[in-house]
Amino acid sequence: MSKSVLEENYSLKDALKSIRKRLEETDEENIRSREFWKAHDPSRIKESMEEENWNDSLYLVYRNENYDNTFYIFKDDSDIVSWLENKWDDWCLWDYDDIQGFLDDELIVWKFHRDICIDKWEILYKESKPFIKGWSRKREYVSFETVPSFSIS
């Protein structure tokens, strides 16, 4: 498992259970933090926990055909990028005529985010669907960017 991968699961059901558990733990941790600040500095508290922690998110990534039957959970989109850089050779992506088409059709990325993002940035999150209380999910897409690289030995 790559250092950027938070967790690997070998069934979609297990991956979704793990995500639910992690999201619930995140909520519990945020509630404890909120209670602490209520007691020590009430001016730091916003109306709702979601407003304070709107940036909380998790990502689920897997291949559509899922040849290796593995579902990956990430904490951050930059972790996905670094992980994908190591997958190019494993997945033989240079053999495809249309790498972007492969990414759009084969690579599934779900972002699990706070519901408040839908209210704040409707244009970005309008396709979101409810997942569990306070959390929604949205399909994300990976863009392939060609960057020339040279080395002389």
- Specify the pLDDT at position 140: 92
Higher pLDDT, 86 or 124: 124
The answer to whether 135 and 112 are in contact (CB under 8 A) is yes
- Specify the pLDDT at position 14: 96
Where exactly are the structural domains of the chain? 7-140
The answer to whether 102 and 96 are in contact (CB under 8 A) is yes
Instruction: Tell me which amino acid residue 109 is.
Output: V
How confident is the prediction for the chain on average, in pLDDT?
Answer: 85
- Specify the pLDDT at position 119: 84
- Specify the pLDDT at position 72: 94
What average pLDDT does range 129-139 have in this prediction?
Answer: 93
Stated pTM of the model: 0.84
The answer to whether 55 and 77 are in contact (CB under 8 A) is no
- Name the token pair of 64: 């559509």
All residues at 6 or more sequence positions from 40 whose CB lies less than 8 Å from its CB, including other chains: none
> Is 112 a residue whose pLDDT tops 70?
yes
> Is 113 a residue whose pLDDT tops 60?
yes
> Is 105 a residue whose pLDDT tops 90?
no
> Is 1 a residue whose pLDDT tops 60?
no
Q: Is 71 helix (H, G, I), strand (E, B) or coil?
A: strand
pLDDT tens string 63-80: 887 667 899 999 999 899
What average pLDDT does range 140-153 have in this prediction?
Answer: 73
pLDDT tens string 15-50: 999 999 999 999 999 889 888 888 888 887 777 777
Element (H, E) at 28: helix 12-40
